[in-house]
Amino acid sequence: MTRLSAECISDLKLDQWQAGELSAQAGEELRAHVDSCARCTHRRQTLVADAAQFLQRFPEPPRRTRAGNRSYWVAGTTALAAAAALVLWLKMPTEQPGQRSKGEATQFGFFIKRGGQVTLGAAGQRVRAGDQLRFVVTTSKPQHIAIVGRDGSGAVFEYHAASGHSVAVAGARDQALESSIELDAAPGPETVWAIFCDEPFELAPLKSTLAGAGELQAPPGCTLKKLELMKDAAP
Amino acid sequence: MDQAELAQLYRRHGPMVFRRARQILGNEADAGEVVQDVFLSLFEKPAQFAGASSLTTFLYSATTHACLNRLRNQRGRAKLNRAREAELAPGDTEPLTQEQLLMLQTTLRNMPPELAHVAVYHFMDGLTQDEIAEVMSCSRRHVGNQLARALRWVEAREVT
């Protein structure tokens, strides 16, 4: 909460200063006050630390794309989370029976958010229209990944990618990806593939193969993980 | 605006939007959704920024608007008996208690929108009337009048 005595600098001015929006003179006056005022120095340090923490948690801007009739959002922020269910959404447990095995270098799993509840997903999972799925990956080294899906009608979707390109991930266990998908209303089988490669790659050839053959093979030097789900209509 | 510019804009201003939304709404989940709403709207309709004195003031206004909308949509969640002027009094430096925040939120969601905006800037952000005038692109006198109306509104009503 930012309640200031009259002589102190407001958060608005500190924000404008940080954004480089103040004139040189106004900036100097503000700096002089901050340098001489323990409270404003502390407040500025708090804002800077707060900003760094926010960007560490949510480094990417929200982005909306369309994949068929699905709503797909990417948000460091929508990751944007904490508090109650959203905290769980971000700090989900990360062992997935049937899909993961301790010590395996590359792993792929997911969590389901339905209403305010977040549960662990598993291979063969029954999901429901409107569920949100969030994917979690483990790699033993920095890699490039993409996640694509194919529903019962044969439609192919990019679930985690950067405009048709793979996305870099760090070498770490149980990385909850910053994107989630919301399942559309069409019931039926849903298959999801995660592709892990050492080099960046484009999705177009993979999607083309998937649309035609309905199956994927791991590109040379890459690892492929697959999940099969069954989607029910919303009750 | 290309992707790199959007990312830079988000990195520069996203933390501020999140911080203010969390402050007004009292929780990070809703604040996160406000960040998404505000930036998606800005990215998809950048022309709305035209005319604002700075991007920071524009985002202050957009964030306040989004938060107040969210509070109004949550009408009825908080059942509180009264909101008094005392809960709105600026000047102390301590964070609001959860009870005070809920009272303030109840007041804001019931208050006429034009008064609620001024109340947020003055009582929650601690802005001076000159700064509020800058954010709202209006005169200081108008801000003073709106603040007086806001206080009268609080005095005259029992918030349920």
Distance from CA of A175 to the nearest CA of B (A): 20
Residue B24 scores a pLDDT above 80: yes
Task: Tell me the ipTM for this assembly.
Answer: 0.81
Closest residue to B23, CB basis, from A1, A6, A62: A1
Whether residues A42 and A116 share a domain: the answer is: no
What CATH number should be reported for the domain holding residue A211? 2.60.40.2550
Residue A85 scores a pLDDT above 50: no
Show residues of chain A in contact with B57, CB under 8 Å. Answer: 12, 16
The position carrying tokens 């003073």 is B144
Residues A55, B14: C-beta atoms closer than 8 Å: yes
pLDDT given at position B92 = 38
In this structure, of A20-24, B1-5, B66-70, B84-88, the range with the lowest mean pLDDT score is B84-88
Whether residues A24 and A130 share a domain: the answer is: no
Residue-wise pLDDT for A166-189, tens only, equals 888 877 766 777 667 878 777 888
Any domain includes A1: no
In CATH, what number does B1-74 get?
1.10.1740.10
Residue-wise pLDDT for B88-116, tens only, equals 444 334 556 667 777 788 888 888 988 99
Whether residues A53 and A145 share a domain: the answer is: no
Whether residues A144 and A32 share a domain: the answer is: no
Any domain includes A21: yes
Contact criterion met (CB below 8 Å) for A190 and A183: yes
Residue B81 scores a pLDDT above 50: no
The position carrying tokens 């068929």 is A68
Query: Which letter does DSSP use for residue B48 in this model?
Result: G
Does the CB of B125 have a partner CB in chain A at under 8 Å? yes
Residue-wise pLDDT for B35-53, tens only, equals 988 988 888 877 777 656 7
Q: What is the mean pLDDT of residues A74-102?
A: 36
- Which range marks the domain in which residue A53 is found? 11-57
Average pLDDT for chain B = 79
Helix (H, G, I), strand (E, B) or coil at B49: helix
Residue-wise pLDDT for B116-140, tens only, equals 999 999 888 889 999 999 999 899 9
Residues A80, B33: C-beta atoms closer than 8 Å: yes
Share of chain B above pLDDT 70, in %: 79
Q: What is the mean pLDDT of residues A123-127?
A: 82
Q: Which residue intervals of chain B bear CATH 1.10.10.10?
A: 79-160
Whether residues A48 and A82 share a domain: the answer is: no
Whether residues A47 and A87 share a domain: the answer is: no
Query: Which letter does DSSP use for residue B47 in this model?
Result: G
Choose the final residue of a domain: A42, A57, A72.
Answer: A57
Any domain includes A6: no
CATH class of B79-160: mainly alpha
Whether residues A89 and A196 share a domain: the answer is: yes
Strands A126-128 vs A223-232: parallel, antiparallel or unpaired: parallel
Residue A94 scores a pLDDT above 70: no
Contact criterion met (CB below 8 Å) for A77 and B14: yes
Whether residues A97 and A170 share a domain: the answer is: yes
Q: Which residue of A has its CA nearest to B12?
A: A19
